[in-house]
Structure 1
Amino acid sequence: MDHADIRGTFFIECEDLMEALNDGLDRIDDSWDTGADPETINAVFRAVHSIKGGAGAFKLDTLVRFAHQFETTLDALRAGRIMPEPALLHLFHRAADQLSDLLQAARTGAAVEADNSAALVRELAAAAGDEDATSDADAEDFGFVPMALTLDLDMDAAPLPEGNRRYAITFSPLRGLYSCGNDPCVLFRVLADLGQLEVRLDRSRLPDFDALDWQESWLSWELTLETDEPEHQIDEVFEFVEGLCTLEIRLLSDTPSPTDPGNPTAPDPGAPSWDPPAEDSTPPSSGTLSAAVPTASRDNEKSSPPRATVRVELDRVDRLINIVGELVINQAMLSQCVQDEGVPPRSPIRTRLDDFKSLAREIQESVMAIRAQAIKPLFQRMSRIAREAADIAGKQIRLVTEGETTEVDKTVIERLADPLTHMIRNAVDHGIESPEKRQAAGKFETGTIILSAEHRSGRVLIEVRDDGGGINRPRVLDIAKSKGLVPEDAQLADEEIDSLLFLPGFSTSAVVSDLSGRGVGMDVVKSAIQALGGRIAIASEPGKGTTFSISLPLTLAVLDGMVVDVAGHTMVVPVPAIIETLRPRPQDVHSLGAGEQVVAIRGSFIPIVDCGAIFGYRSPVRRYDSTVLLLVETGRQKLCALVVDGIHDQRQVVIKGLENGYGRIPGIAAATILGDGRIALIIDPEEAVALGSGDPSLNPEV
């Protein structure tokens, strides 16, 4: 692995460290008033310390300086010198955001605002009571320049100030240290930053060449460090390799000269010495990454070993998924051919084909699991968006996340970032009231936004809920009329007024600000969600808040579908959306209002939607005893019965998008290729229900 590969792996590992950092800060947020867990604070500290160590190995000086002050302030917190007050935690979140920006800048070579780093360093230093660091930050250069870590072995150097302590350190790597890519040279360079370091190599255990086991660790080192730093700072240098070495740190009772025979760590004049790399040398690539990534925790003995992983380019996974899709189509075609030939059900060919079908399903599920990932990193990004938007708007916001472990196709997650950003900023700017208004309404001054995700009916439901003032529907309608978006005499229901928010160019902001007012927002959100094969809905209660619900497919590749007949046309309904199927009796069907009908099922009345009628294949049927009802669950767990003329079978189908070639078709999610080569449309149950109820938001022109 060359240097560039190791550097790339370092940044990937930093993503995990940043996730752990943000997780820890969130946990401290939740418990600051009752006392933060010391181990959580330590975990946050270790994450920043690990990033700092790796940045030093790659000579990313800006990252090192910023992370150093960040960890210094965190060290003051874990030592109890400062308390986890809300203002301090907000500062830590901002510092974590800046650390993320610095990592991204170092990774891509992009520019980063140096003033932001300098200002945050001053704030962090002030919070820790470090006046020297505060003044130093004023003159600090936060541009990216290479860092030179040196080992000072000049025996004629001026003596260190009084009060320094001398430590004897015995360091013996174990076999696993090198297999993880660690390099003692990197550790010694970091130790040299703490004071004056002397190093002696002990090769007494090194066997003869013929008996040498190349995978074993034979060398050890005796080090003497004179420093004014406390012992825990020395211990933290070796934090990366805990459990991978034997380590002893002893505080010497006096400070004899390094060459004094009374010094137990004094070099033996006849012993071989170790000459550290020169200042401008680069440590071996095998060790540069290891200093960045902790290979064991402080409770290494209790923790289970990490699962082995392999990083694969996303393009290769995409190609594999496409091949699996073609495999599913070929399996369906083979099944169709066998059926057309009239092969008996229990013949060997049928049996082997069933085995092939099971194997194809298992391959498909395994491949799709590769693409699935938890939505947690996206939610963590939204926490930053909420904080920044709250600072701009001058509001107090608390973002609560739920269902972070919900897994979604990676492509869906990537394309969901922009819509969610719009929605979070919209909730802060329009949803949550000012602290004064909230107090007058009898609410807490701090507004709450809940971002949640869950699997429901074979789809992913993401909700953004706020406890703000709700949608001011009279004002929304007045603005729509003034802009000519609806007729002056229009009388709209609440749901129809809410749908106006998705019109292009619609905005309730009277002033253009950094957050809103340019007429670009919710229409962009709706278009992005629809491009993913999803839908978005609004529910609002005046004075209590607003909920935006996004429903998305689990995957953009394959689904289990029920192949049905609709007025002579073959269509597909996603199986996860179907609760049950039934043939209604005439006495179970009842008429309501102008042509609306419901079916009585176990004491409940379920609305009926005729698929053949809503898609324009035929007129609505008058009797349902010769049809089949598919009981489906729509948004907010409402039930509805879809009318189809018959059910053919159930099979896996490969999803083929229609947006690029045909645009969006209301009520249709996508298309698929059947085993006989025909094209079948895949019904979107929720949109079909909304289409049957005359929902104006499904008008393609809206």
Structure 2
Amino acid sequence: MDFDEIQKIFFQECEEGLATIEGSLDAFRGHDPDAEVINTVFRAVHSIKGGAGAFGHEPLQAYTHAYETLLDLVRNGTLPLTPDLVAAIVAAFDMLADHVAAARDADTPPADAAMLDRLQRACVPAAYVAMPAAAADEPSGDGAAEAGDGFDDLLDLIGDGFDTLLDQDDTDEIPTEGYWRVTLRPAADALDHGAEPLLWLRELAAFGGVLITADCAALPGLAALDPELCHVGWTARVPLAVEEEDIRGVFDFMDGGELLVVREAIAVPPDEVPPHDMAPPVAIDRPIPDTAPVAPAVPEASDPLPPVQRSDPAAAASPRGGAAAAGQSIRVDLDKLDRLVNLVGELVITQAMLAQRLSEHALGGIDELDDLALLTRELQESTMAIRAQPMKTVFSRVPRIIRELEAETGKRVRLDVEGEMTEVDKTVVERIGEPLTHLIRNAVDHGLELPAERLAAGKPEEGVVRLSAVHHSGRIVITVTDDGRGIDRAKVRAKAIERGIIAAEATLGDEDIDNLIFAPGFSTATAVSNISGRGVGMDVVRKNVQALGGRIGIQSELGRGSSFSLSLPLTLAVLDGMIVTVGDQTFVIPLSHIVESLRPAKGAVRRLSDRSALFDVRGTWCPVYRVADQLGVTEAETDPTQAVLIVVESDAGQAVLMVDTIQDQRQVVVKSLEANYQAIQGLAGATILGNGRVALILDVDALIGRWRRDGRTMRIAA
């Protein structure tokens, strides 16, 4: 693997780290996060810093070092989480994302001087910041005392969190079975490469480690002291309960210097620690791998060191046992995964062709053929599961959007999130981000009122935006709900007439008026701002959702709030469909839209005119749409009693599609019409059937929407 490939992996890890940080930062808002949340953010920043140093991205390394220092002071309790400090941590994350992007794209690093100054100021105790400027120059008197107090506070800040590590009076508590002796001497220029020895020691303290000695032999006199060099080494002991690989993991990004991890068989008092020449340190010029050998210690003859027993090969590979093994993962290039998905799709098509060919020769009942069909489906589902990602990948961006909108609008917003671990295909996750961003911005800018307005309306000052994701009928439904002012339909209608979107005499129901907000160029904003006013946001939402084969539903009550629901397919590659014929053409209707299918009795379909008819579906009269009319198919059935009626769900509610016959129900592989030919309204794609013919996949929402807009239903026989 060459350098560029390794660096590519580093930036992939950076993106994962940024996503982890962004997902954790919301816990800082409104309440004190627990220690694990703070540690999660710290570890992600620390990993980015280590990689930045290894690959020579010095601006990124320097910035993350300052960010990491602040986070470390928060996690060890030195700095309390005040609102100002939370704001600094959140703002620092935005700058970190810019730094990573600049390093990845070999671009000019962002100007971070002001942010670095803000981080440095946040790290200094208030008492030190408040010290009079002239105090440091006063040799005696009250001013000198103030300066001394401030300097003592600063020293306390540096040393805080080391009480456990520096405790030298508990040697009697060393377990009799022994401990790990860790000898550390960083390289003199370690600080230049992003190393932070004090953080390493804190990590050892977190493991229950105790500092035995500090090696100051190389420490020069004060006049020759260079504060940018590392002059000190340390020896510490760590309980045997800690895995060796975890100890070495603390020093993953150590570049140069000496590190020795030795298992001591018996307790050794601090004044009897073996000198370094008894077990020479191992010099390293790169991070020590987990498989690095451990230098053997010399145990007492009367108390031999028992060998480490590993009877389970899996345990040997994963010292943490089965739980860790279950969480193991590998990185796979997305192009390779896409090729695998395509090959599995072709396998599904070939299996369907084989089944069709054998059935033509009266060999359709072969058990092995059924087994092949089952295995093919399981393989396809397993392959698609590999591409599945939790919606958290998208949802984690929303808190940041909310924070920005609060600052721009002066509104107070609480975000409630549900179902963030609901999984969906990676392609859907990648393409739903923009529509979701527009819906969130619309909910805050147009939906929620200002605090004073909410109080006047008897609502809490803080508005609520709820974001949820759930699996429903083979699809994922993402809902954005707000408790704001709701849709003012009279205002929407008036604005649509003003902009020429509808005629003044048009008769529209509530649902039709609600859907006007998706019209190109429509906006109710009184002025154009950074957030809204140009009439493109909701139009983008509809187009992107329809491009994904999804549909949008709106529910709104004036003064109570609005809810937007996006219903999307779980995957764009394969779907379950019903194969139907219309005239001499074959089509596929996605099963996710189908409620039921039936052949009506004579007189069950009620004609209203030459081009419209209704069918009673369990007490509800639904419009009947003849597929042949919309798609220009000739010689199709016109008598409903000789045709098949398929009841479907769409954005516009229930409707009935009239087709000639139903051939089969099977899983089909979706092929893009846009990529292979051109986009056609009313068609979501195409597939290859078992007989080798191409069948077009109906876009149910687009078809019914077009029929409704055209004001027509069906041409059916009397």
Q: TM (normalized to structure 2)?
A: 0.70
Residue 387 of structure 1: CA displacement?
A: 1.9
Cα separation, partners in 2 of 1:664 and 1:437, compared to 1, 3 Å: farther
Mapped contact 1:571–1:682 kept (Cα < 8 A)? yes
Q: Counterparts of 2:658 and 2:200 in 1: how far apart (Å)?
A: 81
Q: Are 2:212 and 2:235, in contact at CA under 8 Å, matched by a contact in 1? A: no
Q: Which amino acid aligns with 1:673?
A: I
Residue 359 of structure 2 is aligned to residue 339 of structure 1: yes
C-alpha contact (below 8 Å) 2:182/2:237 kept by paired residues = no
2:386 aligned partner? 370
Cα offset, 1:437, TM superposition: 1.8
Q: Counterpart of 1:114 in 2: which secondary structure?
A: coil
SS at 1:412's partner residue?
Answer: helix
Picking from 301, 316, 330, the partner of 2:350 is 330
Please give the residue correspondences for 1:450-529 in structure 2 after superposition, counting only pairs within 5 Å: 450-529=466-545
8 Å CA contact 2:625–2:655 kept in 1: the answer is: no
User: What is the letter of the counterpart of residue 511 of structure 1?
Assistant: A
Q: Post-superposition shift, 1:380?
A: 0.9
Matched-pair identity in %: 42
Cα distance change of structure 1 residues 481 and 127 upon mapping to structure 2, 3 Å threshold: farther
In the alignment, which residue of structure 2 is the partner of 1:118?
114
**2:212, 2:236 within 8 Å by CA — same for their partners in 1?**
no
Whole-Å separation in 1 of the counterparts to 2:462 and 2:532: 21
1:459–1:94 Cα change, 3 Å: same
TM-score (norm 1): 0.71
With over 3 angstroms needed to count, the CA separation of the structure-2 counterparts of 1:332 and 1:300, relative to structure 1, is closer
Alignment deviations for residues 651-697 of structure 1 (CA, whole Å, 9 cap, x no partner): 22121223356655444322222222322222234444545554889
Q: Unaligned 5+ residue runs, structure 2?
A: 132-154, 172-178, 202-210, 220-226, 228-233, 251-269, 291-318, 714-718
Asked if residue 101 in structure 1 is aligned to residue 104 in structure 2, the reply is no
The one of 379, 383, 396 aligned to 1:380:
396
Shift in CA distance, 64/635, structure 1 to aligned 2, threshold 3 Å: same
CA contact (8 A) 1:242 1:300 kept: no
Aligned equivalent of 2:329: 309
Give 1:440 deviation, angstroms.
Answer: 1.8
CA contact (8 A) 2:578 2:591 kept: yes
Which residue identity does 1:343 align to in structure 2?
A: A
From 648, 651, 657, give the equivalent of 2:672: 657
User: Could you tell me which of 270, 283, 296 is aligned with 2:286?
Assistant: 283
Alpha-carbon distance between aligned partners in 1 of 2:92 and 2:101, rounded to the nearest angstrom: 14
In structure 2, the residue matched to 1:180 is none
2:690 is aligned, of 655, 675, 679, to 675
Alignment of 1:220-369 (within 5 A): 224=214, 243-245=243-245, 264=272, 267-268=275-276, 271=278, 273-274=280-281, 283=286, 304-305=324-325, 307-340=327-360, 342-346=361-365, 350-369=366-385
Q: CA deviation at 1:81?
A: 5.5
Counterpart secondary structure, 1:489 = coil
Q: Which amino acid aligns with 1:105?
A: A
> Which residue is 1:146 aligned to?
none
Does the 8 Å CA contact 2:588/2:695 hold for their aligned counterparts? yes
Verify the 8 A CA contact 1:171 1:245 in the aligned structure 2. no
User: Take 1:405 and 1:121, find their aligned partners in 2: how far apart are those partners?
Assistant: 38
AA matched with 2:104: R
Q: Secondary structure at the match of 1:304?
A: helix
Shift of residue 563, structure 1, vs aligned partner: 0.9
For 1:557, the equivalent position in structure 2 comes to 573
Seen in structure 2, the aligned counterparts of structure 1 residues 134 and 188 have a Cα distance that, compared at 3 Å, is: farther
Q: Which has the higher contact order (CA 8 A, sep 6+)?
A: 1
In the aligned structure 2, how far is the partner of 1:569 from the partner of 1:79? Answer: 70
CA RMSD of aligned residues (A): 4.8
The residue type paired with residue 100 of structure 2 is: L
User: Take 2:441 and 2:381, find their aligned partners in 1: how far apart are those partners?
Assistant: 36
Which residue identity does 2:122 align to in structure 1?
A: A
Q: 1:411 aligns with which of 415, 427, 436?
A: 427
Partner Cα separation in structure 1 for residue 374 and residue 188 of structure 2: 53
Matched residue of 1:405: which SS? Answer: coil
After superposition, the Cα gap between the structure-2 partners of 1:172 and 1:6, relative to the gap in structure 1 and judged at 3 Å, is farther
Question: SS at the partner of 2:428?
Answer: helix
What is the distance in 2 between the residues matched to 1:623 and 1:443?
Answer: 57
In the alignment, residue 26 of structure 2 is paired with which amino acid?
Answer: D
Gaps of 5+ in 1: 136-160, 175-182, 199-220, 229-233, 250-261, 288-298
| Matched residues, number | 600
Quote how far apart the aligned CAs of 1:82 are: 5.4
Name 1:215's counterpart in structure 2: none
Question: Contact 1:197/1:224 (CA < 8 Å) preserved in 2?
Answer: no
Distance in 1 between residues matched to 2:247 and 2:471, nearest whole Å: 48
SS in structure 1 at match of 2:692 = coil
| 1:46-79 Cα deviation digits (max 9, x unpaired) | 4444444444444544444444444444445445
CA drift of 1:545 comes to 2.0
Contact 1:531 1:659 in 2 (8 A): no
From the superposition, tell whether residues 426 and 131 of structure 1 become closer, same or farther in structure 2 (CA, over 3 Å): farther
C-alpha contact 1:197 1:223 (8 A) present in aligned 2: no
